[in-house]
Structure 1
């Protein structure tokens, strides 16, 4: 089983990717994690990526494509994989097509997590991190600290990352709409795509994803529309 998981920031891709891959006993491949591995190892690809990132530039498509291609060439993906964070645009989607064709394999499903932009902003802009330990994360609405502005676990000051500011989140959503959303149109004509509501509990969303995989895009679409209207 080879699955592609896409969706805007704040849709819960990371959480669902781990759960889906575990449930299906396939490899979870995060493009972001792959890139960080190359940077940490100091590989040629990692050095190239780091140079662009330090200059405030996006990592070039050719670098990301090669990073993913090398990962998909490993033997542990023979039984399948779940890929998230790639492709981010149509150029990368077309490159993934070539990579899979070259290995005589193909995608079995493309899952598109859908969520209203207002909810994305609420989820991300409400995050607060502890300055003493950034693993301690709170949310002003969903998991507020007992004492405003203070970490329940260590007493450290809570703060909002620049990446989590509403203006930044809106900018990220604009980038997603202009670059990543067209990836949906790349896969839709092939009958691979199912749009899934990312609203609700973690298990509820996982169940929708599993239903989409087992039933196929056409049958799962009706369930998705019902879930989104509730």
Structure 2
């Protein structure tokens, strides 16, 4: 059984890697965003509790998020293993998760960090641009339009860059995430379950490294 967390800064390729891991190892993909939406839509007690904070413009407390995670980890599709996406983000949440996985006898088997240098991440993230007409998203490095200057989806020729994709904003976002990511890596390194892969390779190579770690 594989119970896994992927760590990495924005733009490191966690989303791409997650999809391939789920397909290859048939794990339940548990995203905190999806979890919140489902619990609120289904009006579960924890969902309603989370909604009361969100409706008032407040952050959902760690304990409430942890209750949601515990609810989700008890569902049948996690019996073959799971990959957690978006939780934990802090060492406090990591400690809460440890308590949950002990109680449910579903302890983490692996934590994998996809490591990419800040310079490369800034290039990747600030290469994103969007079509003004239909909102299709492209990336100058990894996903340009098939015909230069022409949107694949609607044929539009006007593009723009969102404010949060501009290099100076990206740099700030990475700093904020690094402050959360580094203590988590230390936390799991001390537990002896952290592995690192080089995220500056092609997605295929990154997945090969992850595959080898998980197969062990």
- TM-score between both structures, scaled by the size of structure 2: 0.87
Q: What are the residue-to-residue correspondences of 1:34-183 with 2, within 5 Å?
A: 34-38=35-39, 43-48=47-52, 50-51=54-55, 55=57, 58-134=59-135, 136-145=136-145, 146-148=147-149, 150-156=150-156, 157-183=158-184
Question: Does the C-alpha gap of structure 1 residues 100 and 210 become closer, same or farther in structure 2, counting only changes over 3 Å?
Answer: same
Question: Does the C-alpha gap of structure 1 residues 161 and 41 become closer, same or farther in structure 2, counting only changes over 3 Å?
Answer: farther
Q: Which has the higher contact order (CA 8 A, sep 6+)?
A: 2
Distance (whole Å) between structure 1 residues aligned to residue 7 and residue 99 of structure 2 = 19
Q: Is the 8 A contact 1:196 1:208 kept in 2?
A: yes
Which SS does the other structure have where 2:200 is aligned? Answer: coil
Question: Does the C-alpha gap of structure 1 residues 70 and 168 become closer, same or farther in structure 2, counting only changes over 3 Å?
Answer: farther
Deviation at 1:39, TM superposition (A): 5.0
Across the aligned residues of Structure 1 and Structure 2, the Cα RMSD in angstroms comes to 2.1
Deviation at 1:142, TM superposition (A): 3.4
Distance (whole Å) between structure 1 residues aligned to residue 123 and residue 202 of structure 2 = 16
Deviation at 1:153, TM superposition (A): 2.5
Deviation at 1:123, TM superposition (A): 1.0
Question: Does the C-alpha gap of structure 1 residues 127 and 36 become closer, same or farther in structure 2, counting only changes over 3 Å?
Answer: farther
Which ranges in structure 2 are unaligned for 5 or more consecutive residues? none
- TM-score between both structures, scaled by the size of structure 1: 0.82
Which SS does the other structure have where 1:9 is aligned? Answer: coil
Deviation at 1:40, TM superposition (A): 5.2
Which ranges in structure 1 are unaligned for 5 or more consecutive residues? 216-230
CA deviations 1:182-204 (Å, max 9, x no partner) are 11111112211101111122111
Q: Is the 8 A contact 1:93 1:183 kept in 2?
A: yes
Deviation at 1:46, TM superposition (A): 4.5
Deviation at 1:166, TM superposition (A): 1.9
Q: Is the 8 A contact 2:50 2:60 kept in 1?
A: no
